[in-house]
Amino acid sequence: MHKIDVRKGMPSVQLTREEFDRRFKARFYDPIFEPLAPELAKIADAAWVSYDDYHKAPRTHPAGEGYADPAYQLSDEWRDASRAVEAAEAWQKDKASPSRILIVNGSSRSNQTCPGEMSKTYRLAEIAKSVIDDGGGYETELLDLSRLASEYGRVIYPCKSCVSTAMPLCHWPCSCYPNHAMGQTGDWMAEIYPKWVAAHGIMILCPVNWYQAPSSLKLMIDRLVCADGGNPDPTTTQGKDPALAKEIELKGWDYPRHLAGRVFSVVVHGDASGAENLRRILCDWLEDIGLISAGHLAAIDRYVGYYKPYATSHEDLDRDTSFQDEVRNCARALMQGVRQMHNGELKEPDRKLRDVRPK
């Protein structure tokens, strides 16, 4: 048996009480909170205890039947998230369920906050949605990631890369959040995982930000790593025990692909460079996690207002009716792929082959 080696060596990040209070109270900077200073001091006292004693999951119950360790104190919030994923999976696999397509607006720009103008990506997503809605027989949902920047309380926390320690340490759905000790609550991914699971088709539209995906989209992509080999039973690793997780992985891990078999399409647009590269990155990622391309016309990268002023880019999109029609075709290709999948007609030549390198 390989000796389990868990590497340590990074400096402590534990805060002093004074620094904790400074950071905690910073969110109440508005003078409107000044009359509530005594109450806030009491809340800060309680928050310090939660932090110092590390109350990551303050409400737990025994995991119960169906888990490797029924006595393990499982987070109530994780259990709720897991049940939501299971319900979405059952709905998606029910032949009586209508075909559902999730449309992802991957732009962070919104007229509901600065910069005070809607994104071109949102317009393209609306074009795609109208085509699918008019097609009949499909349910559509628009996942608008711009709400991370414009809507109160919307947050996706960064992936902690548990996978890089051992795949079984990455739980499905993610158990890293919420973390009440750290004030990391309200994680939107708990709602986003079931949206992906319930979908038969996924359409991602996004702009290029510095040759890469916008930060809002990248946050979601990273947090979907648990869908590609994630462990559905946190009791096997006693929560986040890295040594246990390494031991399990070294005994053999089957890397379950929890989103495999769904169909995808991608639209990427830029104004100067990077569109083709980002389109390839997104398509490669989606195929790596087991999704199926809806075809050549379902993965496009284009430039809007190439090297023209940002200030007139919406007008450039107005004039580019060919790109708009290509987005419509992208949606139609996805619809056809989902229809074929629903009818059992979608053929995957490599479906029965064993993945030699499943990692």
pLDDT at 254 over 80: yes
pLDDT band at 355 (very low <50, low <70, confident <90, very high): confident
Q: Specify the CATH superfamily of domain 77-342.
A: Flavodoxin domain (3.40.50.360)
pLDDT in tens, 162-182: 999 999 999 999 999 999 999
pLDDT in tens, 55-79: 999 999 999 999 999 999 999 999 9
Please state, for a pLDDT cut of 90, what percent of the chain lies above it: 95
Distance CA 267, CA 287 (A): 15
pLDDT in tens, 314-327: 999 999 999 999 99
Q: Return the pLDDT at 357.
A: 86
Q: Which residues pair with 203 in a beta bridge?
A: 103, 265
pLDDT in tens, 192-247: 999 999 999 999 999 999 999 999 999 999 999 999 999 999 999 999 999 999 99
pLDDT at 344 over 70: yes
Q: Burial level of 46, CB count in 10 A (0-12/13-18/19+)?
A: exposed
User: Tell me, what DSSP letter sits at residue 232?
Assistant: S
pLDDT in tens, 114-129: 999 999 999 999 999 9
Mean of all residue pLDDT scores within the chain: 98
Tallying the residues shown for the chain, one arrives at 359
- Report the sign of the C-alpha dihedral through residues 145, 148, 154, 157, in that order: positive
Mean pLDDT, residues 255-260: 98
Q: Return the pLDDT at 256.
A: 97
DSSP secondary structure, 167-205, as one string: GGGSBSS--S--BGGGTB--BTHHHHHHHHHH-SEEEEE
DSSP secondary structure, 58-127, as one string: -SEEE--TTSSSTTSEEEHHHHHHHHHHHHHHHHHH-TTSPEEEEEEE-----TTSTT-S--HHHHHHHH
pLDDT at 1 over 70: no
Instruction: Measure the CA angle with vertex 231, ends 241 and 226; round to 5°.
Output: 105
Q: Return the pLDDT at 358.
A: 84
Lowest mean per-residue pLDDT among 155-159, 187-191, 344-348: 344-348
Tokens of 284: 């490669």
Distance CA 108, CA 186 (A): 19
